[in-house]
């Protein structure tokens, strides 16, 4: 049981680390001498501009920022609730509150990455000129980590729902 508990804790901490990296790091969209995230865009590695309300589609940027921050907060909160429930729950009870918080974190990551994907697909179709003002490039590792964090938070949410406190 102790090995299972250690695995769950490491899995949860890994999920939180993926969320932090994908929220903070500047690699959601990368191209030749360009990298951008949901906070700013940089050309030539030095010419960085903060994304603010002067950019087209700023409401989408704000939605992505808010849901990524919320997902990170919910994931961290779920971890602290898990630790509290670990010592407070009676034997045989499930970690339902932890599971709910982790599944809400999963939902927030999915919303943020889906909005980002939708905005990028509109650009490839030529229907929309985005806040990056660049059509070339590819998804970066922070974007990929966001989707991996989605899968990890979903799996850990399900694990917490199934997990019962045992001796």
For all residues of the chain together, what is the average pLDDT? 83
> Which pLDDT does position 132 carry in this prediction?
47
Helix (H) or strand (E) holding 13: helix 2-24
Sign of CA pseudo-dihedral 126, 130, 133, 139 = negative
Task: Tell me the two tokens of residue 22.
Answer: 């994908």
Q: What is the mean pLDDT of residues 89-108?
A: 89
Half-sphere exposure of 122 (CA within 13 A, CB side): 15
User: Which stretches of 37-92 are DSSP H helices?
Assistant: 58-88
Residue 52 reports pLDDT greater than 90: no
For residues 147 and 60, which has the higher predicted lDDT (pLDDT)?
147
Q: What is the mean pLDDT of residues 25-46?
A: 78
Residue 112 reports pLDDT greater than 90: yes
Domain residues of the chain, as ranges? 2-27+57-128+142-162
Lowest mean pLDDT among 16-30, 56-70, 110-124, 130-144: 130-144
For residues 60 and 126, which has the higher predicted lDDT (pLDDT)?
60
165 — pLDDT class (breaks 50, 70, 90): low
Q: How far is residue 93's CA from residue 144's CA, in Å, rounded to a whole number?
A: 35
pTM: 0.85
The string of pLDDT tens digits covering residues 55-78 is: 767 788 889 889 999 999 999 999
Distances (CA, A) of 41 to 33, 44, 97, 130: 11, 10, 38, 12
Lowest mean pLDDT among 8-12, 113-117, 133-137, 152-156: 133-137
Question: CB burial class (10 A; 0-12, 13-18, 19+) of residue 6?
Answer: exposed
Helix (H) or strand (E) holding 35: strand 34-36
């Amino acid at each position: 049981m102790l090995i299972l508990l250690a695995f769950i804790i490491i899995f949860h901490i890994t999920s939180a680390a993926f969320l932090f990296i994908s929220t903070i790091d500047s690699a959601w969209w990368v191209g030749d001498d360009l990298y951008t995230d949901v906070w700013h865009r940089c050309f030539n590695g030095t010419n960085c501009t903060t994304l603010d309300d002067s950019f087209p589609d700023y409401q989408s940027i704000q939605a992505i920022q808010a849901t990524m921050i919320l997902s990170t907060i919910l994931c961290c909160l779920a971890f602290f609730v898990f630790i509290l429930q670990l010592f407070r729950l009676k034997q045989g009870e499930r970690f339902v509150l932890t599971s709910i918080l982790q599944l809400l974190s999963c939902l927030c990551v999915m919303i943020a990455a889906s909005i980002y994907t939708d905005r990028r697909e509109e650009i490839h179709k030529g229907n929309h000129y985005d806040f990056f003002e660049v059509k070339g490039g590819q998804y970066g590792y922070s974007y990929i980590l966001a989707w991996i964090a989605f899968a990890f938070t979903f799996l850990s949410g399900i694990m917490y729902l199934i997990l019962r406190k045992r001796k």
